[in-house]
Structure 1
Amino acid sequence: MDLFAPDPAETPPSPPPPTGAIPLAERLRPAHLGEVIGQEHLTGPEGAIGRMVAAGRLSSMILWGPPGTGKTSIARLLAASVGMRYASVSAVFSGVADLKRMFAEAEGALALHGRPTLLFVDEIHRFNRAQQDGFLPYVERGTVTLVGATTENPSFALNAALLSRAQVLILHRLSPEALTALLARAEEAEGVPLPLTAPAREALIASADGDGRFLLGQVETLYNAQLAQPLDPAGLGRFLQRRVAVYDKDRDGHYNLISALHKSLRGSDPQAALYYLARMLTAGEEPLYVLRRLVRFASEDIGMADPQALQQCLLAKDAYDFLGSPEGELAIAQACLYCATAPKSNAAYKAWKEAAASAHATGSLMPPANILNAPTKLMKDIGYGAGYAYDHDAPDGFSGDNYWPEGMAPQQFYRPVERGFEREVLKRLEWWDRKRRERGAE
């Protein structure tokens, strides 16, 4: 398997395929970074990628974002922007032997031509830990500049050693404005307007859910059909065999309605929340999209005030998967009503934001040695686990020990409110704090 794109300096170009055989998404790939849509926070003059290109030097990076947001296009353009050799590999199709051959070719290109290689690794999270470790010496020696692409959270999907040598850059879902611009490029390339009414055009953009590649695939399907008359939203839904949101005469859009639903839930108005839910579902909104938003709401706006809210939303998703439409939509309505009538707290949401900021600021501080596991004699000899206070052996099942890294004062991220179940949680935290103070004074 050839893992590398042809190098113009080494391989004569092959004749291009006929234009009609090239997918629309491929024909519309940007020719330079300025043409990348929707990621200006990275590719613009003040963005991390824009600054690296301006300086003519790239560092290894992980591009993290949803499908169809331009990760592959950016990687290709980065190599061309700084004159590097471009090589690509997919973790889905490659193994250890492929990686060894790839690194050997990169070393040869550097030795013979002085050309470093930009190595693009698609779906990098699919490589196991040993394979990920195999990249480290080549990245450290400068044989390759690694650009990995992933849809998974790098904190969980990638080795800490690899992450410490690469900058994580987050790509956003394409906004409606970005998707509109992409649609205009497609129409310009085809030379004719898309056969859709204005409301159907908005519905098509909303149905893409931020995925530019998916949008272009739907556009290509519409052009290939050579429709005689423009489709309205209902006709578009039938043609694509996909539920497409229908907007009323005032064009209350997908995002306006989900915002209204979210704020009605937050404001504990079950009647208004049920109305906006019905507006979305009867218009043809994807039920799973609504369920995803309800799950997010249960964590962000209810949290520990009623931990059952999250479970109710997940059960509604299971019920909908089991029953389908329209019967399963009653389970969505039940979850909506549960969330609207539950006590509200964003304490967990705020605590997570503060904790994430603190983790980013403090880097890799070691936990105190007494709470580290010591599975080997060497680790025991250097003090791992020494002096650990086993809480179940302590009075009241609470040792009051300090679990924070050395040199870092205990922090308070989570501040429960006096509502719902969090009132009970607050009592527990206050009791534990009092015990800590008492034992600290002993």
Structure 2
Amino acid sequence: MTDLFATSEPEASAGPRPLADRLRPQSLADVIGQQHVLGAESPLGVMLASGSLSSLIFWGPPGVGKTTIARLLAHETDLHFVQISAIFTGVPELRKVFEAAKMRRANGQGTLLFVDEIHRFNKAQQDGFLPHMEDGTILLVGATTENPSFELNAAVMSRASVMVLERLSTDDLERLAQRAEAELGRDLPLDGDARRALLEMADGDGRAALNLIEQVAAWKVTSPLDAAQLSTRLMRRAAQYDKSGDAHYNLISALHKSVRGSDPDAALYWFARMLDGGEDPRFLARRITRMAVEDIGLADPQAQAVCLQAWETYERLGSPEGELALAQALTYIALAPKSNGVYVAYKAARAAAKATGSAPPPKHILNGATSFMKDQGYGKGYAYDHDAEDGFSGQNYFPDGMERPQFYQPVERGFERDLNRRLEYFAKLRAKRGS
């Protein structure tokens, strides 16, 4: 019987093979990069040494070796390698995969099932792997470019070890280029600066690097090209960015924390990265305004107005001119004095409001609109602050019996220095008047 999805070894082809395929590592020792995962003392290295390989989830960007490592793991553990993609595989195909794995197991051979883009399976499909993982029918190796803690079921995560694979460094890509030159039998026709520029174009993606190298190696040139000549012949690879995926959240986090850390240069860098990735400037305008409210607040009350004006300017000018207004607002809030005093106070007040339930306001600050309400004590004893000394009565405005909290604690930065002095002034008056 023909084995379904049998892909233990790549099929031989009489046609020309791409450079990336010709340089596919034949053992884990040949893999470039990822030594934090593959080294002798790494989690995966220890598993292999002890002969106790468990199900795995490889999380990392494209072109860093997820598929290659999975294939080599199957080879080194004598497991049959089966590869499927969550994009093209439905429930009927999965059933066939599991049935074939059961037959294999009955004949004494295990199956390493490699699932590319595993995060694209829905919850029910992911749950379908569990019984076959638990009874040993398959050893699951999933690959994802998205954060597995958000995209994968807790049940699958609890039965698999997550291995984080990283973008290839420039040194890793240089080693890959040297292997490619050895395979091709000639050096790349590039000077030093152009060679570095070529590797930077790959943006940490080994497969992209080999594709670029293969293009350059085919050029017929009489002398090495410089970086400027290279840039006219090759388009820079688009940076990895998914407006609804992990990169989106990572970059907005980096942008926000750069502003909070008062680093305008870093903030502008991440802002530019997101724009280059195709992010909607309106989303950025909204987030920049939120930063002004959350991280600056009353330390610089003008910051919020600056952000709103920049947002309005963008709406009037559009792209790309309006993006400069957003960059100006971003620079302003990065350099503004920082305070989360109101943000913290707001959250504390919400928590206190929830905890105190439906405690009514004290009667002296209720409006006695009718004679009945006045008879009930509404408004009795209320001190009109404008008639009090210093325009401050010091009365209690919290529910009766509730201990007076202090939610808002301004910092000694920016305009909040003045607000802090006002709070201290009112606290002294309140104590003096015995409320």
Superposition TM-score tier, normalisation by shorter sequence: 0.5 to 0.7
Match status 1:288 vs 2:276: yes
- Encode CA deviations 1:347-388: one digit per residue, 9 max, x unaligned: 9xxxxxxxxxxxxxxxxxxxxxxxxxxxxxxxxxxxxxxxxx
Give 1:140's aligned residue.
134
Hey, what's the Cα distance between the residues in 2 that align with 1:328 and 1:197?
Answer: 39
Match status 1:209 vs 2:199: no
Hey, what's the Cα distance between the residues in 2 that align with 1:346 and 1:170?
Answer: 34
| Pairing partner for 2:89 from 89, 94, 110 | 94
Give 1:5's aligned residue.
6
- CA spacing shift, 1:77–1:202, aligned 2, 3 Å: same
What letter matches 1:49 in structure 2? L
Residue 193 of structure 1: how far off its partner (Å): 1.2
- CA spacing shift, 1:194–1:48, aligned 2, 3 Å: same
Give 1:371's aligned residue.
none
Give 2:235's aligned residue.
241
- CA spacing shift, 1:191–1:55, aligned 2, 3 Å: same
Match status 1:64 vs 2:59: yes
Hey, what's the Cα distance between the residues in 2 that align with 1:38 and 1:416?
Answer: 48
Matched ranges for 1:7-46 at <5 A? 7=8, 15-18=12-15, 21-46=16-41
Matched position secondary structure for 2:47: helix
Residue 336 of structure 1: how far off its partner (Å): 5.3
Matched ranges for 1:304-383 at <5 A? 304-306=294-296, 323=319, 327=321, 330=324, 333-334=327-328, 337-338=331-332, 340-343=334-337
Residue 215 of structure 1: how far off its partner (Å): 1.3
% of aligned pairs identical? 50
| Pairing partner for 1:110 from 84, 98, 105 | 105
Matched position secondary structure for 2:236: coil
Match status 1:193 vs 2:187: yes
- CA spacing shift, 1:7–1:213, aligned 2, 3 Å: closer
- CA spacing shift, 1:81–1:14, aligned 2, 3 Å: closer
What letter matches 1:4 in structure 2? F
Give 1:120's aligned residue.
114
- Encode CA deviations 1:166-208: one digit per residue, 9 max, x unaligned: 1111111111111111121111111111122211111222222
TM-score by length of 2: 0.63
Give 1:168's aligned residue.
162
- CA spacing shift, 1:343–1:79, aligned 2, 3 Å: farther
* Unaligned residue ranges in structure 1 (runs of 5+): 246-260, 348-388, 399-414, 427-442
Hey, what's the Cα distance between the residues in 1 that align with 2:416 and 2:71?
Answer: 50
Match status 1:52 vs 2:47: yes
Aligned partners of 2:86 and 2:120 also within 8 Å: yes
- CA spacing shift, 1:146–1:337, aligned 2, 3 Å: same
Residue 242 of structure 1: how far off its partner (Å): 3.0
TM-score by length of 1: 0.62
- Encode CA deviations 1:13-45: one digit per residue, 9 max, x unaligned: 964334xx2111111111111111110000010
What letter matches 2:226 in structure 1? D
Aligned partners of 2:34 and 2:165 also within 8 Å: yes
Matched position secondary structure for 1:225: coil
| Pairing partner for 1:74 from 69, 85, 91 | 69
Matched position secondary structure for 1:323: coil
Aligned partners of 1:63 and 1:148 also within 8 Å: yes
Hey, what's the Cα distance between the residues in 2 that align with 1:140 and 1:3?
Answer: 22
Hey, what's the Cα distance between the residues in 2 that align with 1:134 and 1:211?
Answer: 32
Residue 5 of structure 1: how far off its partner (Å): 3.5
Aligned partners of 1:305 and 1:419 also within 8 Å: no
* Unaligned residue ranges in structure 2 (runs of 5+): 240-254, 298-302, 342-353, 362-397, 400-408, 421-435
Match status 1:150 vs 2:140: no
Hey, what's the Cα distance between the residues in 2 that align with 1:331 and 1:124?
Answer: 41
- CA spacing shift, 1:345–1:288, aligned 2, 3 Å: farther
Hey, what's the Cα distance between the residues in 1 that align with 2:326 and 2:157?
Answer: 39
- The root-mean-square deviation of aligned C-alpha atoms, in Å, is 4.5
Hey, what's the Cα distance between the residues in 2 that align with 1:422 and 1:204?
Answer: 50
Matched position secondary structure for 1:69: coil
Match status 1:182 vs 2:183: no
What letter matches 2:140 in structure 1? L
- Encode CA deviations 1:133-187: one digit per residue, 9 max, x unaligned: 0000000000000000000111110111111111111111111111111121111
Residue 237 of structure 1: how far off its partner (Å): 1.7
Hey, what's the Cα distance between the residues in 1 that align with 2:140 and 2:122?
Answer: 16
Give 1:359's aligned residue.
none
Hey, what's the Cα distance between the residues in 1 that align with 2:171 and 2:339?
Answer: 33
Aligned partners of 1:64 and 1:168 also within 8 Å: yes
- Encode CA deviations 1:53-83: one digit per residue, 9 max, x unaligned: 1122210010001111110011000001111
Matched position secondary structure for 1:234: helix
Aligned partners of 2:288 and 2:330 also within 8 Å: no
Which structure: larger Rg?
2
Match status 1:84 vs 2:79: yes
Q: How many residues align?
A: 327
What letter matches 1:305 in structure 2? D
- CA spacing shift, 1:158–1:268, aligned 2, 3 Å: closer
| Pairing partner for 2:217 from 223, 247, 256 | 223
- CA spacing shift, 1:14–1:165, aligned 2, 3 Å: closer
Hey, what's the Cα distance between the residues in 2 that align with 1:94 and 1:115?
Answer: 23
Hey, what's the Cα distance between the residues in 2 that align with 1:305 and 1:185?
Answer: 49
